[in-house]
Structure 1
């Protein structure tokens, strides 16, 4: 089952793990490895579409609503991060994707990391945008304050997309999943990721550590990992800064130097990281 939005994108649905999972797709399947965008907690993939649309020249882009989100079928209780990762891997099977680039935002980063660790042969590269989780977000009270600060830093247009999704998902379910997200050791998992990874962080994102701490952590990462800062961006920069994010991702996937796009809001810069480990292999 599929339909078109009139702008080169189609919508489809497949059965995964007993649920109907709906997705959007667009772009040239012959141009490169498909990119699968993975949304955050309590919200559908709709807010990822601004970036996905700009990445269609790079290849096929797929934006699913995981079970319980957006237009997809709801399980009897919300799925946790490990279950969402298993569902995402099964979705790759159903869509016939032997290998994909996983581009996650917020909770989508732990989900993508879990897939990469469980099945590295299925993940070409990882792009982790605002990879929340870990000591900087703990305890829960601290993370809730960070979330509140971020809410007023996001584009006002984001509310039109996010609020209906959060209402549908339910505040209790969202709080439980957020508590699971902040306990996920994103930084530790990133340091051991078996596939090349790019972390993209907004300098106005209160859920991310400050740049000096990011640099300290990144110094322990393997050579195939890179970190890019986007000045002026908050947590949901897939929505607020799609042009700069697409420029960064497209350059990285294409093996080109990552440089700021002066025509896009935000200032992108690669974080200079002194490596403390010898390159692997």
Structure 2
């Protein structure tokens, strides 16, 4: 299925006002809404190739630039938390006229925001999809000792971010898009980049995940097995808090969905629309870069 000449399936870049301030977002498609929340350091713009494919498969996609990224003004200091991001996202949904429960997909930092939205506003979410998400708060140090993620040094994060980017086979195609987005965010609001990085690094959402388990909210966990930014220990802790529903794995790193939109759409359509695409438990090869 392709977008062809159907204007309902063309990616649009409208803007709206949330709390009296402008917000850019991506909107396209028809049907029940799917809300996509991007990862740290980027915005909705970096995911446009991936989101276009979701629209081509008959999904209505909304993807805002979260506060501090993509030109959206930062949250006030007293709101700078995952709960604050969740409240802001609820206000965004109100601003664009979405009252019904959404399928909520969050990548990396966006996954942490998505967990808080589902926890704090259960009427907002019909289904939750976490893609290489923060929140498990577990990390194995160089000696093999399991530690809390907040104890992981920032330099170790940096090394693994670099390791995720450099080996990309599709580097020349993907990197310019990411760099344009990331550098723009850094130049516009370097303080927000730093603050949100620390917020992501210290996030422990296992208690919230256990609440979602008790509520029986449908949750799908997707993880690239070569991810070193969100390590296996963190993903295992996240899954355990949900009652070990099983993790759909792909052969990718932290942001495999950016460089291999096809694999991402295969996984998403398989978990949301069984029978449309069936990549199996292992979605096959995928490569990605860090976000």
The corresponding residue for 1:65 is 65
Q: Deviations over 1:220-255 (max 9, x none)?
A: 5347x4411111x11122312221111111111113
Matches within 5 A, 1:124-139: 124-133=126-135, 134-136=137-139, 138-139=149-150
Instruction: Please report how far the alpha carbon of residue 164 of structure 1 lies from its aligned counterpart in structure 2 after TM superposition.
Output: 1.9
Q: Deviations over 1:84-109 (max 9, x none)?
A: 11111111112222221111111101
**Distance in 2 (alpha carbons) for counterparts of 1:53 and 1:38:** 15
After superposing the two structures, state which structure 1 stretch, 107-116 or 188-197, moved more: 188-197
**Distance in 2 (alpha carbons) for counterparts of 1:148 and 1:7:** 39
Instruction: Please report how far the alpha carbon of residue 169 of structure 1 lies from its aligned counterpart in structure 2 after TM superposition.
Output: 4.5
Q: Deviations over 1:255-280 (max 9, x none)?
A: 3485259997429xxxxxxxxxxxxx
Q: Deviations over 1:200-221 (max 9, x none)?
A: 111111122327x745763553
- Asked if the contact 1:49/1:63 (under 8 Å) is kept, the reply is no
Q: Cα distance 1:220–1:107, how it changes in 2: closer, same or farther (>3 A)?
A: closer
- Point out where structure 2 has 5 or more consecutive residues left out of the alignment: 1-6, 140-147
**Distance in 1 (alpha carbons) for counterparts of 2:184 and 2:59:** 28
Q: Cα distance 1:169–1:264, how it changes in 2: closer, same or farther (>3 A)?
A: farther
The corresponding residue for 2:258 is 239
The reply on whether 1:142 has 2:163 as its aligned counterpart is no
- Asked if the contact 2:206/2:237 (under 8 Å) is kept, the reply is no
* Match for residue 164 of structure 2 among 153, 173, 179: 153
Q: Cα distance 1:188–1:107, how it changes in 2: closer, same or farther (>3 A)?
A: same
Matches within 5 A, 1:21-170: 21-27=23-29, 29-30=30-31, 33-56=32-55, 57-74=57-74, 79-97=80-98, 98-133=100-135, 134-136=137-139, 138-139=149-150, 141-154=152-165, 155=168, 156=171, 157-158=174-175, 159-170=178-189
Matches within 5 A, 1:176-215: 176-193=195-212, 194=215, 195-210=217-232, 214-215=235-236
The corresponding residue for 1:271 is none
- TM-score when normalising by structure 2: 0.76
Q: Deviations over 1:180-202 (max 9, x none)?
A: 11221134433432421111111
After superposing the two structures, state which structure 1 stretch, 134-143 or 43-52, moved more: 134-143
Instruction: Please report how far the alpha carbon of residue 171 of structure 1 lies from its aligned counterpart in structure 2 after TM superposition.
Output: 3.8
The corresponding residue for 1:11 is 13
Q: Deviations over 1:34-60 (max 9, x none)?
A: 111101223211122222111112321
- Corresponding residue pairs, total: 257
Q: Deviations over 1:55-77 (max 9, x none)?
A: 11232111111233213345566
- TM-score when normalising by structure 1: 0.79
